[in-house]
A and B are shown apart, each in its own frame.
Chain A
Amino acid sequence: MSSIHDLTVFELTRALKTKTLGAVEVAEHFLDRVEHEKLGSFLSHNRDTTIKSARASQVKLNSNKAGQLEGLPIGHKDVFVTKDFPSTAGSKMLESYMSSFDATVVAKLANAGCVTVGKLNCDEFAMGSSNENSAYGPVLNPWDNAKVPGGSSGGSAAAVSARLIPAATGTDTGGSIRQPASFCGITGIKPTYGRISRYGMIAYASSLDQAGPMAKDAQDCALLLSAMCSGDPDRDSTSLDIPAEDYTTHLNDSLKGVKIGLPIEFFGEGLDTGVRKAIELAIDVFKDLGAEFVSVSLPKTQLSIPVYYIIAPAEASSNLSRFDGVRYGYRAKEYTDLIDMYKKSRSQGLGEEVKKRIMTGAYVLSHGYYDAYYLKAQKIRRLIAEDFSATYKKCDVILGPVAPTVAWGLNEKIADPISSYLADIFTLPASLAGLPAMSVPCGMSDAVKPLPIGMQLIGNYLQESKLLNVAHMFQTLTHWHTLSPTQAKTDSPL
């Protein structure tokens, strides 16, 4: 049997149920790894809390009261508030902030039996795509420590990839699950907007934020998503009031006759050759599985960048107003009056990228600019969604790259934030339309230290099951999702 940390969620939970492994033994194994990690992926962990929770799981496992995921160690992105661990959202503003309640996602996973190992690093308030915007330092890509893990769920992706935990939660506003999953060689899904409750998720951009699971493969994501989804009408008005679904049911459905759309705009200039090649090979795999391909067009793909960078900062500028130093969080040590207290607390407590987006957001919402920016962006956003609707008349699933390139170097884009904004081009459209989308490992770059390449699958509304089916069938024929940076780096990718 392979090492505990190489097991998938599926294998691990089965081993726990059959008592091949004990919950405490599993928790200790992962805690040991977390305590010795050097990637900066964890912001907090607490052995006592985790072991206590694992013991409780074992009791349930012994008495046949076990949940679906009983005893499964998990890490939560630090934008989910938790009672047992600090919730900082990667910001100095919330340094050592303790929540009085658990996020719905956290509570649901705990209910299903998950044992929380700790909280995961991320870009401050989920703003960024390299995890370099965290107040608590960057996260290193486990495949090449000189590279970024992607962001904003960089800690989640790196920790799963480095086998520090079998699975993690992430959040995706403009690609924050998919892009780091791609950069770190794991599988992640952002479901339809509203499929998972946002209650207890520290808001970045409310109309875009969506939680999702990050794990080794599609089957694991299906298991986790089944436990995370469901309506939460009493706590989140934007959650879809539809019952939870078992996403494992259709994993093995045949792909014969499934139509996959390839948007021409996703394969244009700027797409790295290695990434393009990996996607093309993936297409061949799907052909072997019986899928059919159609060329489609999403003509407003380019516009998704300015639209996103208007709407998200606008919402963020308002969402982050609550961090004013009055009731909780960071407050400047010295100030002369109320206004000075606000200014100093927020200037000192918030990071550069966050302040930049707050300024942008305040600007686009201000009197005289609202129509030209925010309102226009909302209109184009609707058009982007309509483009998708039209496309889904021709195909079941859309396929393309997650990002134009593999992971870039640490500090490489700090001086040029626009270039990292532009790198979001393939993940933003699905976010703006609120569609489910996932990232699936489909290759490794051709370099001394090869880096993972991710392919993106975008489904129609509430078609998570179809996405997971397509991804899972791909993974039955490929091994990319089984590679790990902890194995010998000389492993041939093919």
Chain B
Amino acid sequence: MNNSISKNHQMPSEVTSLIQGYEVVIGFETHAQLLTKSKIFSRASTQFGAQPNTQACAVDLALPGALPVMNIKAVECAIRLGLALGSHISSKSIFARKNYFYPDLPKGYQISQFEIPVVQGGEVQFFLGEQPKSVRLVRAHLEEDAGKSLHEDFVGLSGIDLNRAGTPLLEIVTEPDMRSSQEAVAYAKELHKIVTWIQVCDGNMQEGSFRCDANVSVRKPGQPLGTRREIKNLNSFKFMQQAIDYEVLWQIEQIEEGKKIQQATVLFDPETGETRSMRTKEDAADYRYFPDPDLPPLEISAEWIDQVRASMPELPRSMAERFIKEYALPIYDASTLTQSPQMAAFFEETVRHCGQPKLASNWVMGELSRKLNEESVHIQACPVSALQLGAIVSRVARADISNSSAKTLLDSLWSDPSADIDALIQSKGLKQVNDIGALEKLIDTIISGNPDNVTQYKAGKEKAFNALIGQAMKASKGQANPQQLTELLKKRLQ
């Protein structure tokens, strides 16, 4: 992993911004649902949205005599995440049973990892604005999801849907390294980017594929950690920030009123924008964890790790590093372009066709992204190809067309991707006029047609000059090269 960004990163506590004199401390637990076709310990499908209980086999239903068998693909996902985050991948990890009774937990225990998880340590690096940040991981462990209890559709009864039971999850746990809700959201977004980038999770927060729990506490600077409350199931980045902000102010208010914070699990209600306690530590269950005797220790050889490493894509962080070095892009551009592998690939292909990295970056991040957002089109489905954008950028770079003409061109190609670029420039009259003789003639016409503006400019009014340029551009139907025009006009009026 390329660490050059992290070299100058500061410890979070050094850049703390206090809220009413309190320092905010946040740690995250994220459940990422893994992109495997079948469940973690059975062969039932993990497809979302099927009819209730149609994707639950004997193992998922915990029928008598059924036994779990590890899905190798889920382990591979864990290895990928570990490699992406610079973690230690344990050569031997242990599955444990977490025992509790609930109707959507068919076995009466959840198979998870307790004492020895598969992924240990590592860090998530990201930018908060221009500020480089790093959040350390404690661990990431494999576990199975529970089913769902459906309370709405049944009067006086609850329905149980076990389709989700046994879906593979990676629970990713951080150190309490974050110091603001903004930083927490930036971390969550970065982690979200990484898990989708390396294709271990589809990142769909609505469907619950990426669920975050935030452990929040506050303290006076220099004091030991305060008592934390855990906000459960934050399923959008927007709610995440709202929930943490509310929770922080609530905790400060409690402390200011002389009350003690009780360790608790809380839920965020998007309707009211408030968090409320579900259960306190006193109700905490004794899960009687012990190693699952049905599953031998999970052994991961160095060869296996090497195999997975060979199949890893270039990671966003090192790709951004490379963009900075190879294309001389600013940090902002590099990190924006590496939001998704598709965007980065589109950018690189555009550069390959035009040889203009900064211009290509401006166009991909700017006009192209704006249009994609506007029409809610993902970059994979962009009607204009990187080849076409490269051609547009090349012509802008050669001053064949102006920026505004280029936008017109992009619009035209968007609705008719099969059109020929040069034919479009021709037919729409988008070619920029760079010929000095023609421009001089244009200036003659403008000066003679606008004597008032000429007088005003000579009297020191800069605005009048812009008016003249505007007139000239209008007269040329936007085809005059504005830079050349400005120079020539200035010279003439001296």
Chain A residues at the B interface, C-beta cutoff of 8 Å: 80-81, 87, 89, 94, 97, 99-101, 103, 198-203, 205-207, 233-238, 314-315, 317-318, 320-322, 324, 326-328, 338, 342, 362, 365-367, 370, 374
A199-B67, A321-B99 known, 19 other contacts, Cβ within 8 Å: A87-B64, A99-B64, A100-B63, A101-B58, A200-B66, A201-B65, A202-B64, A203-B67, A233-B69, A237-B67, A238-B295, A315-B293, A318-B288, A320-B108, A324-B108, A326-B160, A328-B63, A365-B289, A374-B290
CB distance from A350 to the nearest CB of B (A): 13
Does A238 contact B103, Cβ atoms closer than 8 Å? Answer: no
Task: Tell yes or no: B62 within 8 A of A by CB.
Answer: yes
Chain B hits for A203, CB < 8 A: 65, 67, 294
Interface string of B288-301 (1 = CB under 8 A from A): 11101111100000
Report Cα–Cα, A269/B58, bound state, in Å.
48
Does B290 contact A365, Cβ atoms closer than 8 Å? Answer: yes
Chain A hits for B293, CB < 8 A: 205-207, 238, 315
Chain A hits for B286, CB < 8 A: 366-367
Does A327 contact B290, Cβ atoms closer than 8 Å? Answer: no
CB distance from B452 to the nearest CB of A (A): 87
Q: Which of A94, A99, A207, A235 contacts B67 (CB 8 A)?
A: A235
Chain B residues at the A interface, C-beta cutoff of 8 Å: 58, 61-70, 97, 99, 101, 103, 106-109, 160, 286, 288-290, 292-296
Residue of A nearest to B95 (CB): A237
Q: Which of B62, B64, B289, B294 contacts A89 (CB 8 A)?
A: B64
Does A321 contact B103, Cβ atoms closer than 8 Å? Answer: no
Chain B hits for A328, CB < 8 A: 63
Does A235 contact B69, Cβ atoms closer than 8 Å? Answer: yes
Residue of A nearest to B59 (CB): A235
User: At the interface, is chain B mostly helix, strand, loop or mixed?
Assistant: loop
Q: List 13 A-B contacts (CB under 8 A).
A: A87-B64, A94-B64, A100-B58, A101-B58, A199-B66, A201-B65, A234-B69, A236-B67, A236-B69, A322-B62, A322-B107, A365-B289, A366-B286
Report Cα–Cα, A253/B69, bound state, in Å.
39
Chain A hits for B67, CB < 8 A: 198-199, 203, 235-238
Report Cα–Cα, A100/B292, bound state, in Å.
25
Q: Which of A200, A237, A324, A370 contacts B101 (CB 8 A)?
A: A324
Report Cα–Cα, A419/B293, bound state, in Å.
28
Chain B hits for A87, CB < 8 A: 64-65
Chain B hits for A89, CB < 8 A: 64
Q: Known contacts A318-B108, A338-B103, A366-B288; decide if A237 and B70 are in contact (CB<8 Å).
A: yes
Chain B hits for A235, CB < 8 A: 67, 69
Q: Known contacts A101-B58, A314-B290, A318-B290; decide if A81 and B103 are in contact (CB<8 Å).
A: no
CB distance from A335 to the nearest CB of B (A): 13
Report Cα–Cα, A287/B103, bound state, in Å.
61
Does B65 contact A370, Cβ atoms closer than 8 Å? Answer: no
Chain B hits for A80, CB < 8 A: 65
Give 3 nearest A-B pairs by CB, closest first. A321-B108, A206-B293, A207-B293
Q: Which of B58, B64, B97, B109 has the most CB of A within 10 A?
A: B64
Report Cα–Cα, A469/B353, bound state, in Å.
78
Does A321 contact B61, Cβ atoms closer than 8 Å? Answer: no
